[in-house]
Amino acid sequence: MFARLAALAVLTLPALVAAQSCNTGAIQCCNTVQWATDPQASAILGLIDVVIDDLDVLVGINCSPISVIGVGGGTSCDSHPVCCENNSFGSLISIGCVPVVV
């Protein structure tokens, strides 16, 4: 019985670890996800003096990194889990986001 449990853990763990990250870094949990052309996102981008060449991109607002529930004591995301290309503006805004299932 223990051997089966150990085998299951070995096979399941890589899938859980893979779900914690994306090609662009850690999965982010954002309170709001909007197109860069939406008034709220556009206003925030203007306030921090960020110009986006491609306005057909999703922007995450008020984001924080998350991990899979139960792995490493991570938290859950009750809002919008996303992978974003540019998380270099602190937790205020993330640019180039793609929704993910956690």
Other CB atoms closer than 10 Å to residue 28's CB: what's the count?
Answer: 26
pLDDT at 95 over 60: yes
Kindly report which listed range (23-32, 63-72, 82-91, 93-102) carries the lowest average pLDDT score.
63-72
pLDDT at 9 over 80: no
The pLDDT value recorded for residue 98 is: 93
The full set of domain ranges for the chain reads: 2-99
Specify the higher pLDDT residue, 51 or 74.
51
Q: d(Cα 72, Cα 101) in Å, to the nearest integer?
A: 19
In the block, residue with structure tokens 């206003």: 43
User: Band of the pLDDT at 13, cuts 50, 70, 90?
Assistant: very low
**What percent of the chain has a predicted confidence (pLDDT) above 90?**
31
Other CB atoms closer than 10 Å to residue 85's CB: what's the count?
Answer: 16
Q: d(Cα 14, Cα 2) in Å, to the nearest integer?
A: 19
